């Protein structure tokens, strides 16, 4: 099976029902995407497929269509995406395990709406669980990133 991740094409020989999450992590060694719950409850596995946030633990390989982007494809330590920059500026992470997914969800939200209301931020970001409770900082970082996007 063919898939394109962060601009690179890969060929994998896996079962059609294997979730994208495990293809990325175990077959391709792309580990920024995390396993947290396996049932789309925590959002740690969030990636973009053609720019839209998707829970990769629920995306069977057989159903995959489109370009996959993981946190590694969003930005890098030397070239941070505007959302990642906001995450660093606000010192959001504690354990950080959920933050790849949080950032991918936020980037997807801001891609379609660069001026979300508090309610819209809460509604979208509530699909991502943070056991450390960094929500106040996530909120602030999303708002900063939105403001930076608007002035960019």
99 makes contact with other proteins (CB under 8 A): yes
Residue with smaller CB distance to other proteins, 134 or 147: 134
Subset of residues 101 to 120 that bind other proteins, contact rule: CB under 8 A:
103
Q: Which of 62, 32, 61, 28 is nearest to 47 (CA)?
A: 32
Neighbours of 1 (CB within 10 A): 15
Give the binding range for other proteins (CB under 8 A) out of 38-46, 48-56, 108-116, 143-151. Answer: 38-46
CA distances to 45, 63, 125, 151 from 100, in Å? 8, 23, 13, 24
CA distance 95 to 45: 16
In the three-class reduction of DSSP (H, G, I as helix; E, B as strand; rest coil), residue 51 is classed as coil
In the three-class reduction of DSSP (H, G, I as helix; E, B as strand; rest coil), residue 50 is classed as coil
48 makes contact with other proteins (CB under 8 A): no
For the bound state, the minimum distance from the C-beta of residue 77 to other proteins, rounded and expressed in Å, comes to 5
| Chain residues in the site for other proteins (CB under 8 A) | 15, 18-19, 21-22, 25-27, 29, 31-39, 41-42, 44, 70-72, 74-77, 80, 84, 87-88, 91-100, 103, 121-123, 125-126, 128-139
């Amino acid at each position: 099976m063919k898939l394109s991740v962060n601009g690179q094409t890969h060929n994998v020989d896996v079962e059609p029902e294997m979730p994208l999450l495990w293809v990325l992590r175990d077959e391709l060694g792309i580990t920024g995407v995390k396993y947290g719950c396996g049932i789309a409850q925590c959002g740690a596995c969030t990636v973009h497929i053609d720019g839209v946030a998707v829970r990769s633990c629920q995306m069977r390989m057989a159903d995959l269509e489109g370009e996959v982007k993981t946190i590694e494809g969003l930005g890098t330590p030397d070239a941070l995406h505007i959302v990642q920059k906001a995450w660093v500026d606000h010192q959001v992470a504690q354990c950080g395990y959920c933050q790849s997914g949080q950032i991918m969800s936020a980037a997807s939200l801001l891609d379609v709406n660069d001026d979300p209301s508090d309610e819209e931020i809460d509604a979208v970001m509530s699909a991502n669980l943070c056991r450390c409770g960094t929500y106040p900082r996530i909120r602030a970082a999303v708002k900063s990133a939105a403001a930076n996007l608007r002035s960019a």
